[in-house]
Amino acid sequence: MQAVPFLDLRAGYHSLKPEIDAAVARVLDSGWYILGPEVETFEQAFSNYCEAAHCVGVANGLDALILSLRALDIRQGDEVIVPSNTFIATWLAVSAVGAIPVPVEPDPLTYNIDPTKIGSAVSPKTRAIIAVHLYGQPADLDPILAEAKHHQLAVIEDAAQAHGATYNGTRVGAHADLVCWSFYPGKNLGAMGDGGAVTTNRTDLSDRIRTLHNYGSRAKYVNEEQGTNSRLDPIQAAILCVKLEHLDDWTVRRRNLASNYLDNLKGVTLPHVPNWADPVWHLFVIRHHARDILMSKLAEEGISTMIHYPIPPHLQQAYADRGHDKGAFPLAEQFADDVLSLPIGPQMQREAQDKVIEAVNRLASQL
C-alpha cells in the first residue's frame, strides 16, 4: 500500500536541490550572515511579486504581526478585531502588545471573517482589524476596508496562508495598511527554517518596522526606540529567492488538484470560492459530520489528513482568562468539530489524489 503523505517537504527540496544547494553555499561563502544583500534581494523580489511598494523581512509570521501592531502604536488597553476562526498566532500577536483580541465570527460559506459582523464588535477602544486569508482564500477585503474607514481603524492582513492569492484580480500584498507573511516550511512559499515578512504601500509604516525589527536602530548603535531582534536570515532569504521563481507553477498545480477535488468529491461539504477570490489552496478543507471517524478510517488506508484547527483560540487554555464560554462563537466551534484538511501540495501526484478521492467518497457516504 502506497501511503499518501499530507505534504511532502522533502520532495519539494529534491525538486530544486541543485539551485537550493548553490544558494546556501553562496551565502556561506560570502561571509555575510546577518541582513545584507541576500535579504535585500529577496525583499525587492517579494515586494514586486506582491505588487507592494515595500517589503521588510522579519524572523517569522508571528513577529510580522507583532511588529505591524507596534508600528501602528497599538498597545495596552486597545482592542483589535480578529477572526474567531483562525490559527492562534493572529490572537497571540494582539496579546503580545498588551491589547485585547475581540473575536468576530466567520462567513459560514468562506470561513473568513464576516464583514457584516464587524460593526457590532467595534468599541471606543478598537484600533484595528486583522483579516486572515484562511486556507489561502482571500477575505472579503472591500467591505472590511470600508468598515475600517467608517470607524477609523487600521487594517492588517494576515496572509501567512495566501502567497499569490488574488482579490478582485489584484495580488494580496498591499490592500490594507500592512500585510503579514510567514515562510514557515509548510506554507505555500516556505523557507527551510523560520522566516516572515511585512509588505505595505505605506512608507511611514515600512520605515517604522525596519527600525523596530533591528533593535530600534537605523544607524548602528543609535537606538531611536525600544525595538527587538527579528530579522530574516540571509540563508533563508537566498532559498526563498530560488523558491519564489517557482511559486506560480506550484500554485497552478495546487489549483489543478483543487479543481479535481471540487469536481469529484461526494458526500462532504466542499469549499466555496466566491467570484472575487482566486485562492491558492494552502489547504483543501472539507467538512463532514463524522469527521473524527472519517479521519481515522482514512489513516487506516495510509491517507494522512489534518485538522485546521481542532480548538478555536477562544476555547484554548491560553485564553481562559478572557472568560469566553463554550457556545460563545458557535461557527468557530462548529468548524473545529467538522473540518478536515485533505492532502494537497505541488508535489502531489494524480494517482495519490485519485486514491484520496476514492476513499473519501466510499467512506463519507457510509458514516
Ligand X SMILES: *Cc1c(COP(=O)(O)O)cnc(C)c1O
Q: At what angle do helices 234-264 and 37-49 cross, to 10 degrees?
A: 30
The closest alpha carbon to 117, from 168, 165, 162, 83, belongs to: 83
**Quick check: 172 binds ligand X (CB under 6 A)?**
no
Member of 196, 227, 313, 345 binding ligand X (CB under 6 A): 196
Q: What is the end-to-end Cα distance of the chain in Å, rounded?
A: 24
Binding mask 103-142 for ligand X (x = CB under 6 A): -----------------------------x----------
What is the nearest approach in angstroms of ligand X to the Cβ of residue 196? 5
User: Taking CB under 6 A as the rule, does residue 343 contact ligand X?
Assistant: no
Whichever of 68 and 86 has its CB closer to ligand X, that residue is 86
Instruction: Candidates 84, 90, 200, 214: give the one binding ligand X (CB under 6 A).
Output: 90
Among 47, 60, 188, 230, binds ligand X (CB under 6 A): 60
Q: Is 158 in the site for ligand X (CB under 6 A)?
A: yes
* DSSP 8-class letter at 324: P
In terms of Cβ atoms closer than 10 Å to its own Cβ (0-12, 13-18, 19+), residue 287 is middle
**Given the complex with ligand X, which of 12 and 297 has the nearer CB atom?**
12
Contacts of 355 (CB under 8 A, 6+ apart): 2, 4, 301, 303
| CB 294, min distance to ligand X, A | 23
> Which stretch in 40-48, 154-162, 227-235, 309-317 sits in contact with ligand X by CB under 6 A?
154-162
Given candidates 62, 94, 235, 352, which one binds ligand X under the rule CB under 6 A? 62
Q: Which residue is nearest to ligand X (CB)?
A: 61
Task: Give the side-chain half-sphere CA count within 13 A for 76.
Answer: 0
Q: What is the DSSP string of 295-316?
A: HHHHHHTTB--B-S-SS-GGGS
Positions touching ligand X (CB under 6 A) are: 60-62, 86-87, 89-90, 132, 158, 160-161, 182, 184, 194, 196
